[in-house]
Amino acid sequence: MSSENGDRGGAGGIPAGGGLAGPAGAGSMLLAWRQSAGERRGRPVTQADAAGAICRSVRFYRELENGTAARPLSRHECEVLADTLLLDRDERHALLLHNAGGFFALPAAPATQGVPEALRVLIDGQSSPSFLCDRYWNVLAYNPVMADWWPWVTKPGPNLLTWLLLDPEAREQYFDWDEHADRSIRLLRFALVGQPDNAVLARLVNHVCADPDVLHIWETTTEVAENRDGHIHRMRLPPLGGKTIEVVSHTLYPASLPGSRLIILTPVRDAEPDTPGAGPET
């Protein structure tokens, strides 16, 4: 993945436009949440309202949204502000992560640590497509069913998000690729909240945003998501003769390999061939 797109703007070379990689990006996130809360409440939520909720001055809150605040919010202030802005679980977690500098995030396993044998046994023992990826969505291991249904995992250096967002094959398989791409960008944004200076994430964002469609999604949304556990997805797979299938995704976090996630895709039922949907879990 290249990092040559640094001239797009944004901290760490990450594209400008609603980014979360720097203070200004976090401010734009707060602004978007405040505007959304106003729409849901049926009346504007002003900076004065938000400032009053956390018992701070309007000037301080304005600096938060401008990305120039001298200090982060405390956990209590984050909780109160989250209630005021009607944040959902992932948004609330993102606010905490950003202001705690990633304190609530689990540390990643050392780069030299391989996949534990016991974890490989678990993956290979699944009857449904299953794969393990690190915190950057690099695929570390997969079972035979996953390789049969999605052969791209067998290629050198497979990465889930780069395949989903950049490979033409992915757009052919997913019924609602735009929606699926949007959900993938939300995952990237969430990862950046607690790691705003992570160079690997910055390179990944720049790499996928080299595509105009992906860049448009990045620049037009501020939503975040920690994972997509329990989501039902629909897709048409050439290895299955073009059959349209429906799967539910399960996201697990192995204790033996911190920072990784195990994704299991369980088939639900046969699906009609032309019903819109999305692709496998990210």
Length of the chain: 282
| The total number of structural domains that make up the chain | 2
Residue 2 has pLDDT above 50, yes or no: no
pLDDT for position 11: 43
Q: Is the pLDDT of residue 109 over 70?
A: no
- Largest alpha-carbon pair distance within the chain? 62
Q: Are residues 162 and 81 in the same domain?
A: no
205 vs 102, more confident:
205
Select the more confidently predicted residue: 89 or 262.
262
pLDDT tens for 49-91 read 999 999 999 999 988 888 788 778 888 888 899 899 998 877 8
Is residue 25 domain-shared with residue 150, that is, in the same domain?
A: no
In terms of pLDDT, which residue wins out, 273 or 179? 179
Six token digits for residue 78: 């984050």
Summarize pLDDT for 24-42 with one digit per residue, the tens: 367 778 888 899 899 999 9
Please check whether residues 58 and 140 belong to one and the same domain. Answer: no
Same domain flag for 157 and 248: yes
Helix locations, 67-176, DSSP H = 75-84, 89-99, 117-124, 144-149, 160-166, 168-173
β-pairing, 139-142 vs 232-237, is unpaired
Is residue 105 a part of any domain in this protein? Answer: no
Question: Closest Cα to residue 221, out of 191, 184, 177?
Answer: 184
Q: What is the CATH number of the domain that holds 41?
A: 1.10.260.40
> What is the span of the domain harbouring residue 190?
117-270
Q: Give a yes or no: residue 240 inside a domain.
A: yes
What's the confidence (pLDDT) of residue 18?
43
Is pLDDT larger for residue 269 or for residue 251? 251
Report the alpha-carbon distance of residue 112 to residue 266 in Å, rounded.
31
Percentage of residues in the chain with pLDDT exceeding 90?
Answer: 53
Q: Strand, helix or coil at 236?
A: strand
Distances (CA, A) of 130 to 119, 122, 145: 12, 10, 7
